[in-house]
Structure 1
Amino acid sequence: MARNPIQFQPGLSLPAFLEQYGTEEQCRAALFQHRWPKGFVCPECGNTTGCQLARGLYQCHHCHHQTSLTAGTIFHATHLPLATWFLAIYLLTQRKNGLSALQLSRELGVSYNTAWKLKHKLLQVMHERNQGERLAGRIEIDDAYLGGERPGKRGRGAEHKVPFVAAVQTDDDGYPQRVQLRRVSGFTLAEVRRYAHAAIAPGSQVVSDGLGCFRAFESPDYTHERLITGGGRASAQIPAFNWVNTVLGNVKNAITGSYHAIRGQHVPRYLAEFEYRFNRRYDLKAMIPRLLTGAARTPPMPYRLLKLAEPYT
């Protein structure tokens, strides 16, 4: 049987990674290139000339503003070596499933709290990079919930469960190209309309089940194929929903297999991690520099903000 070339691509080996990013000097040079690819740019006035001071700061020749290499990025005010951050980026991008903060702390040799903050800052980068992307073409879409069973109400809308929309863009041969996993406030017509406007390109062909909120796609902007499935295991085997059901199964297995528990306010970042890796799976080696570029362009995310609930995006 022929092997899937995407699934069996080599990626970047650990020795190759260490050869490229194994020292602090290499990491600083790489971050400089990703933050200022055409040379230093003053974050205060935009001037493109400056000098490096003895303390590792950069000073603008025009306004004399001083900045560090990490200031204003996701690495802002970090006390960790950049080599530790880069190794975390390697570990989070070069594997199929997620990596818990506990396991990350063991592999990096840092405390659990440090590993949790580092991991969630990098997931925030993935989350923000995903937001500007839209699906187009043929799209399978379904409703889903994330979260374990709790005493009381069960099923749709059960307490402690987080609702999210799962959408898969397929090519002309029916194979999955890109996914979207976006938390919503609930499965209402108004909320799905808001999601559609932000995430699905006009002209797309949307295939959904009979859930009433998906009537949001019955507009001149979309072609909507609405299939009444009836629910249960049989509905999950309908060919029209093959890939969205497969993705949902993989998402839940990846999350429940990697994390002991996740809090509702952090669900968007966990979903973003799966979405980010899936949509960039065609070139594992390139995922590291792409995430570095995103990290250099993502504003600081202090711990107090990491703990807050994410907006419904």
Structure 2
Amino acid sequence: MDDFLDFEHFCKKYDKEEACIDALFFARWPEGYCCPRCAHRRCYVIRSRRLPLYECSQCRAQTSLISGTIFEGTRTSLIHWFQAIFLHAAPEGTSAIRLASIIGSTYKTAWLICHKIRHAMSSSQSEELLSGLVRVNWGVYGRPHNPTIYRHPQEQPLLAGASIDKNDQITHLKIMQVAEEHLIYDRITPAGGREFVSRHVNSSTADISVVIQKFSRQRYFPIIQRCYQASQWINHIFNGIGPKHLQAYLDQFCFGFNMTKRDENIFGVLFHHCASTTTLKYPTLINRKNNSAMLKNDYFELLRKAG
């Protein structure tokens, strides 16, 4: 994928469905068609559908252009999908309301497209572990609301980890919500720190520092600053996010941060992941675990007992 100067330039380049089809075909099969069933290299193209269908000339398996991608099952044109991906690759990202106005869709359709693109970002983030010199620190989404130990429903404790280079600069960032089972009110348990390391840090890493306390003297402030920036970005672009979908937005922030640090073509990398990541279905999305209602009830019960 080329670098693009602006959205208008991009839209002119991909203003036809055929151009989008060619780009997606190349992203899926950069060395030419390869049957997912038998790995045969030749196929017949069936063009009687809105999007091409590829029939293997050896085993006769038929493969849709969008099967196995985040686009699978969509009725939205690839032109609008490409525009959505470009906007998500921009530094500020985009909201579902803005996307709906640009591509002329309903809010629900735009919201689902946004989350499918974030799903590709999350899959990309999970592939690479932190390594080298690693620092992990307590963080929070939402301004701390209480001087007490009780956590307000709008406060979401985080653990953020980073790979640090010899110049004390962050080269790779991960920011994760902390599961309820690893929280005691607003405190992260040692088990929460160990789980973060086991899931997100390369096992061969020898130099790891984990700080789970809010006010420890060992805090690593550059990580705290990144958590603050993520919160500011989420609140500015999306007007705040609840705990149910917060992780997807944190993954988007980290994806953009990490790609920028590497001076990568963010659109090209994101498009590749969109073409190689299986889709996120609507029932899976809306049925994500949400502990916010339980937390809210617990919070007000604790305040009542505290007098």
Runs of 4+ with deviation above 4 angstroms: 147-150, 152-157, 282-285
1:210–1:270 distance in 2 versus 1, CA, 3 Å:
closer
- Equivalent residue of 1:168, what SS? strand
Which residue of structure 1 aligns with residue 17 of structure 2?
A: 24
Judged with a 3 Å threshold, the aligned counterparts in structure 2 of structure 1 residues 148 and 166 are, in CA distance, closer, same or farther, namely: same
TM-score when normalising by structure 1? 0.79
Deviations 1:177-231 (A, max 9, x none): 121112231322223212202211233433444639xxxxxxxxxxxxxx932xx
In the alignment, structure 1 residue 99 sits paired with structure 2 residue 99: no
Counterpart of 1:224 in structure 2 is: none
Partner residue of 1:174 out of 155, 158, 168: 168
> How far apart are 1:259 and its partner, in Å?
1.4
Q: 1:203 aligns to what?
A: 205
CA separation of 1:82/1:284 partners in 2, compared to 1, >3 Å: closer, same or farther? farther
- Is the contact between residue 12 and residue 285 of structure 1 (CA under 8 Å) also seen in structure 2? no
Q: Which residue of 2 aligns with 1:45?
A: 38
Instruction: Sort the Cα spacing of 1:45 and 1:162 in 2 relative to 1 into closer, same or farther, 3 A.
Output: farther
- Aligned twin of 2:276: 297
Residue matched to 1:142: 137
Q: Distance in 2 between matches of 1:76 and 1:210?
A: 40
Whether the aligned pair in 2 keeps the contact of 1:98 and 1:255 (CA below 8 Å) is no
Q: CA deviation at 1:120?
A: 0.2
Segment of structure 1 superposing worse, 46-55 or 12-21: 12-21
Instruction: Decide whether aligned partners of structure 1 residues 64 and 11 sit closer, same or farther in structure 2, where only a CA change above 3 A counts.
Output: closer
The share of aligned pairs that are identical, in percent, is 26
Contact 1:73 1:299 in 2 (8 A): yes
Tell me which amino acid in the other structure corresponds to 1:65.
A
Query: Given that residues 167 and 180 in structure 1 are in contact (C-alpha distance below 8 angstroms), is that contact kept between their aligned partners in structure 2?
Result: yes
RMSD: 2.7
Paired with 2:287 and 2:86, the residues of 1 have a C-alpha distance of 26
Q: Displacement of 1:130 after TM fit?
A: 0.6
Task: Tell me the secondary structure at the aligned position of residue 236 of structure 2.
Answer: helix
Structure 2 unaligned regions, length at least 5:
183-187, 291-307
Q: Does 1:77 align with 2:78?
A: no
Aligned residues: 277
Whether the aligned pair in 1 keeps the contact of 2:140 and 2:227 (CA below 8 Å) is no
Structure 2 equivalent of residue 223 of structure 1 = none
Deviations 1:56-79 (A, max 9, x none): 211111221222211221100111
d(CA) in 1 for partners of 2:149, 2:100 = 35
TM-score (norm 2): 0.81
Name the structure 1 match of 2:193: 192
CA distance in 1, matches of 2:27, 2:235: 34
Counterpart position of 2:58: 62
Q: Find the counterpart in structure 2 of residue 279 from structure 1.
A: 258
How far apart in 1 are the matches of 2:74 and 2:98?
Answer: 21
With over 3 angstroms needed to count, the CA separation of the structure-2 counterparts of 1:24 and 1:93, relative to structure 1, is: same
Give the Cα separation in 1 of the matches to 2:66 and 2:72: 5
Q: 2:216 aligns with which of 215, 228, 239?
A: 228
Rate the CA distance shift 1:283–1:15 in 2: closer, same or farther, 3 A.
farther
Using the TM superposition, give the Cα deviation of residue 291 of structure 1 relative to its aligned residue in structure 2, in angstroms. 1.1
Structure 2: distance between partners of 1:38 and 1:16: 27
Residue identity matched to 1:129: S
Secondary structure of the 2:244 match is helix
Q: Tell me the SS of whatever aligns to 1:163.
A: strand
Contact 1:101 1:112 in 2 (8 A): yes
Deviates more, 1:76-85 or 1:166-175: 166-175
Which residue identity lines up with residue 231 of structure 2 in the other structure? K
Shifted more, 49-58 versus 122-131: the winner is 49-58
Pick aligned residue for 2:243 from 221, 242, 264? 264
Q: Secondary structure at the match of 1:165?
A: strand
Instruction: Give the Cα–Cα distance (whole angstroms) in 2 for the partners of residues 109 and 284 of structure 1.
Output: 32
1:247-290: CA deviation from partner (whole Å, max 9, x where unpaired): 11111100111112423221111111001000001466721121
Candidates 120, 138, 141, aligned match of 1:125: 120
